């Protein structure tokens, strides 16, 4: 037995993360992905009657939207129960009665959820990309068949139009931001669960946070446009922005559907904002958890 204690051990964090991932996967949370597949395949059948531009736009809109909702839902529901369940089962005592610092326990739990979200988002994206690619290839084949006697230049233009409306790199940027939003929600849920007494409380708080987070930017813009906005309103808006994450900043679906290229700077800023929020919530969770009497 190695008797020297290490204040930080990545091995311990990994052990907790792997265990959390096992716990969540054995509880069949991946059934969410099945619903996603049904939504995607169902919508593709429904959209066969539209033009290919409309079809690809709607497919991206529905798929990225569903991916965002499902990953957010998964982040909240999967994280909310982790700590209360460990307390109920007294497993937390056996873990923390060993030389495991509380921040390592929290980091392990969070890392486990982030891994689960990564797997879920990768699987959903893969499914979406495969469906979109298959449809794009079908449209390309149909275009080639229909325009077999058209001039070369006209055919190239038509094919370029199909490819521009189909798969492009911006979809990956959109998926990355969706993942980041889910990670942020998981970190915030972990923070709430450190002082919540039940899972239901955590989930309800997080549903409110989700809606406030999505609506706050619109509300802020509206209030700030008013001529009479006083310092009190401004202070309140600043406080809301500080406590609740601006989730609208993590929504690039509209740009992707409209075919607007996502600037690298915007992507970097969004990533930094997400990492900042995740860091702040994890620190807050650690602070509360250290004072928690188990």
- Interface ranges with another protein (CB under 8 A): 1-3, 5-7, 9, 11-12, 14-16, 19, 22-23, 26-27, 88-91, 93-101, 293-294
Nearer CB in complex with another protein: 87/119: 87
List, in order, residues 6 or more apart from 207 with CB less than 8 Å away.
76
Nearer CB in complex with another protein: 195/223: 195
* Residue ranges in the chain assigned as alpha helix (H): 10-26, 31-46, 52-80, 82-88, 91-96, 102-146, 152-165, 170-195, 199-225, 231-243, 253-258, 264-290
Contact between 83 and 34 (Cβ < 8 Å): no
Tokens for 18, please give them.
Answer: 């792997």
Least spacing, CB of residue 19 vs another protein, in Å: 5
Least spacing, CB of residue 2 vs another protein, in Å: 6
The answer to whether the Cα torsion of 129, 133, 134, 138 is positive or negative is positive
Tokens for 41, please give them.
Answer: 């395949």
Least spacing, CB of residue 78 vs another protein, in Å: 14
Least spacing, CB of residue 33 vs another protein, in Å: 19
**Torsion-angle region of 211 (φ positive above 0: left; ψ -120 to 50: alpha; else: beta):** alpha
Nearer CB in complex with another protein: 1/45: 1
Tokens for 115, please give them.
Answer: 């891994």
Nearer CB in complex with another protein: 94/137: 94
Contact between 106 and 156 (Cβ < 8 Å): no
Nearer CB in complex with another protein: 37/87: 87
Nearer CB in complex with another protein: 7/48: 7
Least spacing, CB of residue 110 vs another protein, in Å: 17
Least spacing, CB of residue 17 vs another protein, in Å: 11
């Amino acid at each position: 037995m190695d008797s020297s204690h290490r204040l930080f051990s990545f091995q311990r964090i990994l052990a907790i993360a792997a265990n959390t991932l096992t716990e969540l996967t054995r509880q069949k949370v991946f059934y969410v992905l099945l619903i996603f597949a049904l939504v995607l395949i169902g919508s593709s059948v429904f959209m066969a009657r539209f033009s290919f531009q409309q079809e690809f736009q709607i497919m991206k809109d529905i798929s990225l939207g569903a991916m965002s909702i499902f990953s957010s839902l998964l982040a909240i529901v999967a994280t909310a129960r982790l700590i209360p369940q460990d307390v109920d089962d007294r497993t937390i005592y056996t873990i923390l009665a060993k030389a495991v610092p509380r921040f390592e326990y929290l980091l392990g739990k969070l890392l486990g959820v982030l891994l689960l979200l990564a797997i879920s988002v990768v699987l959903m994206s893969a499914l979406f990309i495969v469906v979109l690619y298959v449809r794009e290839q079908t449209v390309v084949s149909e275009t080639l068949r229909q325009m077999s006697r058209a001039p070369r230049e006209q055919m190239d233009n038509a094919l370029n139009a199909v490819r521009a409306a189909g798969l492009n790199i911006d979809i990956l940027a959109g998926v990355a931001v969706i993942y980041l939003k889910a990670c942020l929600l998981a970190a915030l849920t972990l923070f709430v669960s450190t002082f919540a007494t039940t899972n239901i409380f955590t989930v309800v708080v997080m549903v409110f946070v989700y809606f406030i987070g999505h609506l706050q930017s619109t509300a802020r813009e509206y209030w700030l446009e008013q001529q009479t906005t006083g310092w009190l309103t401004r202070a309140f808006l600043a406080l809301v922005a500080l406590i609740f994450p601006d989730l609208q900043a993590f929504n690039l679906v509209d740009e992707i559907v409209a075919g607007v290229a996502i600037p690298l700077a915007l992507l970097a800023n969004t990533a930094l904002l997400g990492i900042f929020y995740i860091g702040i919530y994890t620190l807050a969770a650690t602070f509360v958890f250290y004072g928690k009497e188990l």
